[in-house]
Chains A and B, each alone.
Chain A
Amino acid sequence: MRNEKENRQDPLPLDQVERVVGLLRESGVGEIRVRRGEMEISVKAMPEALPAAPQVPVGSGTVQESAEVDPETNGLHAVRSPLVGTFYRAPAPGEGSYVEVGGTVEAGQVLCIVEAMKMMNEIVADVSGEVVEVLAENSGGVEYDQPLFRLRTDAS
Chain B
Amino acid sequence: MISKVLVANRGEIALRIIRACRELGIRSVAVYSTADRDSLHHELADESVCIGPPPAAQSYLNVPAIISAAELTGAEAVHPGYGFLAENARFAEILERVGLKLVGPSSRVIAMMGDKAAAREAARKAGVPITPGSDGVCGSVSEVKRVGAEVGYPLVIKASAGGGGKGMRVVESEAGVENAFLSASREAGASFGDGAVYVERFLERLRHVEVQVLSDSTGTTVVFPERDCSVQRRYQKLIEESPAPDLPEGIRNGLLDAASDLVGSIGYEGAGTVEFVVHEGEFFFIEMNTRLQVEHPVTEMVSGVDLVGEQLKVASGESLDIPASSLVADGHAMEFRINAEDPRRNFLPQAGPIEFYNPPGGPGVRVDSHLYAGYRVPPNYDSLLAKLIVHARSRDAAVRRGLRALDEFAVSGPETTIPLHLAILEDEEFRRGGVTTRFLQDRELENEEGLLRLVRKEA
Contact = CB atoms under 8 A, between A and B. Distances in A.
Interface of A: 23, 27-30, 50-51, 53-54, 56, 58-59, 62, 64, 68, 83-86, 116-117, 141, 143-146
A107 B237 CA distance: 52
Interface in B205-244: none
Given A54-B353, A56-B375, A64-B50, A144 B65 contact: yes
Interface stretch (B67-75, B186-194, B361-369): B67-75
B176 interface: no
Given A56-B374, A143-B51, A144-B51, A28 B351 contact: yes
Contact of A84 (B37, B53, B65): B65
Given A51-B353, A64-B50, A84-B50, A141 B73 contact: yes
B contact residues, range: 20 to 34
Contact of A116 (B34, B37, B65, B73): B65
B58 to A, nearest CB: 9
B305 interface: no
Contacts of A28: 350-352, 377, 379, 414
Closest 3 CB pairs of A and B: A141-B72, A28-B352, A56-B374
A86 B52 contact: no
B204 to A, nearest CB: 28
Contacts of B38: 53, 56, 58
B126 interface: no
Interface string B55-90: 000010000110111001100000000000000000
A145 B376 contact: no
15 contacts: A23-B345, A23-B348, A29-B350, A30-B379, A51-B353, A51-B376, A56-B375, A59-B43, A62-B43, A64-B50, A84-B49, A84-B51, A86-B72, A141-B49, A144-B50
Nearest to B69: A84
Interface centre among B59, B69, B73 (most CB of A within 10 A): B69
